[in-house]
């Protein structure tokens, strides 16, 4: 059965069309379709309609971000002293090892950079995430967040403002509703040895478990995940990979422009906008308070109080006898 999601991403819609046309050709007994890449733009709208154009756009976006990051990181330093930018994949290998290695291979080929899968080792976790300036990809499975090293790497990602992209592995058992309660009660969710490792490493890097959990509660559950299934058709897997690359590029650009932050709070530009709105609201409220303080007019009486004070007058008016009517005249009230 073929599924069609009109609300999917551009890459998913293109993959769905390719799958639909391919299966239709098989059902009609025709030869398998051969897809050719047409890089010419549509003159009507000025946009290309082919899958290759979206890939080129994604790769150019990432390449532009890489160049900006290198220029920013190497300002005043020599390239020989700079670490190689990389992408870090954080995951539970026992739950999605095959998919993680597939992503590693595809990212390495498409982004032309180093791609590392987290080893969950206490002595290497900091160096793995510290150089992941191109982004961190979290594969969301049942126990993805139930390991101290993975929690530390995700927290370090938010601190260093690395792009963070969450990938929901289909059938991986990730419980979105239980993430916040789990992060709030790490002392009971992790074993004593894991909790001891978490506390020791957090303190060694100048933070605490409470601050780490609070930051992750904002960063991970609020992220819109890319769905990916290892058992899907090749076209849909490639579409998911392109979606991850797109999100890495967009997230890096937003973080660099200070429009957003990884911990769920707005960046400098957005904070400046919100502060301006708040100041305007406060100024308006101060003006209303000043006007009320200098208003000498008598206060308006509430409706019920006015009715209670004037009900006798109303009854007296209604009880007055009607004036005598003259003959030949009809009064209509």
| 35-39, 94-98, 282-286, 291-295: which is most confident | 94-98
Higher pLDDT, 116 or 19: 116
| Burial class of residue 183 in the structure, from the number of CB atoms within 10 Å of its CB (0-12 exposed, 13-18 middle, 19+ buried) | buried
Residue 99 has a pLDDT of: 93
81, 74 contact by CB (below 8 A): no
Q: Where are the alpha helices (DSSP H) in 28-135?
A: 51-73, 93-111, 125-130
pLDDT digits (tens, 9 = 90+) for 43-93: 433 333 444 444 455 555 555 555 555 554 444 444 445 567 899 999 999
Within 8 A by CB and 6+ apart from 237, the residues are 102, 228, 229, 230
Q: How many whole angstroms separate alpha carbon 310 and alpha carbon 305?
A: 9
**pTM beyond cutoff 0.85:** no
Q: Which of 48-52, 157-161, 187-191, 259-263 has the weakest average pLDDT?
A: 48-52
- List the structure tokens of 38: 């047409």
- Which range has highest mean pLDDT (247-251, 260-264, 297-301, 315-319)? 247-251
Cα–Cα dist 15/154, whole Å: 31
Dist. CA 199–CA 210, nearest whole Å: 10
Class of domain 10-33+49-266: alpha beta
pLDDT band at residue 270 using 50, 70 and 90 as cut-offs: very low
Take residue 286 and report the two structure tokens written for it.
């101060």
Question: How many other C-beta atoms can be found within 10 angstroms of the C-beta atom of residue 235?
Answer: 20
pLDDT digits (tens, 9 = 90+) for 14-32: 777 777 777 777 778 887 7
Taking residues 240-261, report their average pLDDT: 80
């Amino acid at each position: 059965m073929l599924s069609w999601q009109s609300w999917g991403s551009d890459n998913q819609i293109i993959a769905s069309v390719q799958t639909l046309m391919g299966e239709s050709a098989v059902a009609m007994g025709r030869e398998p379709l051969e897809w050719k890449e047409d890089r010419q733009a549509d003159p009507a709208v000025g946009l290309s309609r082919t899958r290759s154009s979206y890939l080129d756009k994604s790769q150019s976006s990432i390449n532009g971000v890489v160049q900006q990051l290198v220029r920013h990181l190497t300002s005043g330093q020599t390239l020989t002293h700079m670490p190689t930018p990389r992408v870090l994949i954080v995951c539970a290998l026992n739950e999605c090892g095959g998919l993680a290695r597939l992503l590693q291979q595809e990212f390495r080929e498409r982004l032309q950079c180093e791609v590392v899968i987290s080893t969950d080792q206490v002595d290497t976790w900091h160096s793995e995430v510290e150089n992941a300036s191109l982004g961190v990809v979290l594969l969301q499975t049942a126990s993805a967040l139930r390991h101290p090293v993975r929690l530390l790497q995700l927290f370090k990602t938010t601190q260093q403002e690395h792009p963070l992209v969450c990938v929901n592995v289909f059938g991986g058992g990730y419980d979105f509703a239980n993430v916040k309660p789990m992060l709030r009660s790490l002392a009971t969710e992790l074993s004593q040895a894991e909790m001891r490792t978490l506390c020791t490493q957090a303190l060694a890097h100048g933070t605490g478990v409470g601050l780490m959990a609070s930051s992750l509660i904002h960063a991970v559950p609020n992220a819109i995940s890319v769905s990916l299934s290892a058992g899907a058709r090749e076209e849909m897997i490639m579409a998911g990979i392109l979606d991850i690359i797109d999100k890495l590029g967009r997230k890096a650009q937003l973080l660099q422009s200070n429009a957003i932050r990884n911990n769920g709070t707005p960046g400098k530009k957005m904070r400046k906008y919100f502060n301006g709105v708040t100041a305007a609201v406060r100024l308006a409220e101060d003006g209303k308070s000043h006007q009320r303080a200098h208003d000498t007019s008598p206060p308006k009486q509430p409706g019920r109080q006015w009715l209670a004070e004037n009900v006798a007058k109303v009854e007296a008016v209604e009880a007055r006898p009607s004036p005598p009517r003259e003959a030949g005249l009809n009064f209509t009230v």
